[in-house]
Copies of this chain bind each other. A is one copy, B any other.
Amino acid sequence: MRYNHDTPMADPERIVASYLIETPLPVEKAAAALAGEQSSGTFVAVPGETEELKQRFAARVERITERETVNTPSLPGSRGGGTFHRAEVVVSWSVENMGFNLPTLVSTVQGNLYELSQFSGLKLMDLEVPSSFAQRFRGPKFGITGCRALTGVQNRPLIGTIIKPSIGLSPDETAELVSRLVEAGIDFIKDDELMADPPHSPFDRRVEAVMRVINAHAECTGKKVMYAFNISDELDAMLRHYEKVVQSGGTGAMISLNSVGLAAVKKVCDIGVLAIHGHRNGWGMLNRHPLLGIDFRAYQKIWRLAGVDQIHVNGIANKFWESDDSVVHSIESCLEPFLGGFAILPVVSSGQWGGQAPETYRRTKTVDLLYMAGGGIMAHPDGPAAGVRSLQKWWEAAVEGLTMEQAVGKYPELRKSMEKFGG
């Protein structure tokens, strides 16, 4: 469906964005500056800025909820008084302002806002789009159901791993590892984000070597392991890589979302033949500061609109900086329906070895996850096969409601992973 260019929408639907802000100004004044900058902003009134035009296109401050006041600004460069007020601010725009244009939607709800001296902190927390977006955007082609169908996994998380070392293996060495992993019963394997198409592991050769193993295993067992080949590259190369995976019988491809960018990711997702594994490396830059950037709830919606099928959410007790609360929030965000569906599969990873399964399940009550372990599988004392079995068993125990200690008590085979990784 395309909108009609000739007639303005009769009753324009609205985009709604929620922000956490910090400002030295009265909160109402700062919110008005935010809305002004992102709909008709210049620093003086200009001819042509009629009242009618303003009414039709102005962003609207819908709601302000004041929070605490602090004495130190979170970010430099704000202009105004000595105390800084925090608030949640909800702003809306008519879809008429940008039409159905994802990059311009992003420029509208984020864009220059982070530059405004009226703020000493600003984070986009959530984003709502009108239901008309569901006609215009397909969303994830595969999502949770599709990824389960492609891998033949039901009623438990997909168990996945990353090829390590992340960089340096030849295609044949990679395929040899893949061979051990598929025999161990893994559901999903991915390239590292550092491994795309380097001279020592050319993309096409790697696909050929890996898919030979995966296809042979699928013929014997009926189980086709999903391998997310890292197609991240310039656009034409990505499209070539994608085609190579399709021709070789693959079912998945991985993209570094932030490095590749929205327009090219959307273009690749639109093809709709491979499940797209969205790697969010670079995410810390956009989110680690509590009053700058974008919250995961808003972030993952943008990628669901683009059509990404799987997205990283970090993991409980991860090796990175992120708190468990934040990880749980991210998993929940992915599992919330968006536009009546648009399901996306959360990818749990970072320092995972299975022992985090009980806490992950206790807090999220879901098995709709792709649960990834790198070292947790490859460095298992009894080898990768035992690593995979151990992860499956940890998840059985988790769904039974056992704690980590109870799980090891009931299933002695978990003891080795506990001793190796649980210290």
Give chain B residues whose Cβ lies under 8 Å from the Cβ of A164. 40, 42, 46, 48-49
* Cα distance, A177 to B49, chains bound together (Å): 12
A residues 32-62 near B (Cβ < 8 Å) are 38-49, 53-54, 56-57
Q: Is A286 an interface residue (CB 8 A)?
A: yes
Give chain B residues whose Cβ lies under 8 Å from the Cβ of A294. 285
* Cα distance, A41 to B378, chains bound together (Å): 13
- Which residue on B lies nearest to A98, using beta carbons? B198
Contact between A115 and B197, CB atoms less than 8 A apart? no
Contact between A234 and B199, CB atoms less than 8 A apart? no
When the two chains form the complex, which single residue of B104, B260, B374 contacts A103, counting CB atoms closer than 8 Å?
B260
Give chain B residues whose Cβ lies under 8 Å from the Cβ of A236. 267
Contact between A235 and B259, CB atoms less than 8 A apart? no
Give chain B residues whose Cβ lies under 8 Å from the Cβ of A265. 261
When the two chains form the complex, which single residue of B166, B256, B283 contacts A114, counting CB atoms closer than 8 Å?
B283
Contact between A42 and B234, CB atoms less than 8 A apart? no
Q: Is A8 an interface residue (CB 8 A)?
A: yes
Give chain B residues whose Cβ lies under 8 Å from the Cβ of A364. none
Contact between B199 and A4, CB atoms less than 8 A apart? yes
- Which residue on B lies nearest to A231, using beta carbons? B103
Contact between B234 and A101, CB atoms less than 8 A apart? yes
* Number of chain copies forming the complex: 2
Known: A76-B321, A97-B167, A267-B236. A196 touches B104 (CB 8 A): yes
Contact between A267 and B234, CB atoms less than 8 A apart? yes
Contact between B194 and A104, CB atoms less than 8 A apart? yes
Known: A167-B57, A351-B43. A99 touches B267 (CB 8 A): no
Known: A107-B194, A259-B107, A261-B264. A284 touches B43 (CB 8 A): no
When the two chains form the complex, which single residue of B115, B263, B290 contacts A320, counting CB atoms closer than 8 Å?
B115
A381 to chain B, nearest CB (A): 11
Q: Is A153 an interface residue (CB 8 A)?
A: no
Give chain B residues whose Cβ lies under 8 Å from the Cβ of A283. 114-115
Q: Is A415 an interface residue (CB 8 A)?
A: no
Q: Is A262 an interface residue (CB 8 A)?
A: yes
Q: Is A365 an interface residue (CB 8 A)?
A: no
Of the A-B pairs whose beta carbons lie under 8 Å apart in the complex, a sample of 26, sorted by A's number, is: A5-B199, A7-B199, A39-B194, A40-B165, A42-B165, A42-B166, A46-B375, A47-B379, A77-B288, A77-B320, A77-B321, A78-B321, A79-B321, A101-B234, A103-B233, A107-B193, A107-B194, A107-B256, A110-B259, A111-B256, A112-B284, A115-B320, A116-B321, A235-B266, A261-B264, A288-B292
Interface of A with B (CB < 8 Å)? 3-5, 7-9, 38-49, 53-54, 56-57, 75-79, 96-99, 101-104, 106-108, 110-117, 119, 162, 164-169, 173, 177, 193-194, 196-200, 202, 205, 230, 232-238, 256, 258-267, 281-286, 288-290, 292-294, 314, 319-323, 350-351, 374-375, 378-379, 420-421
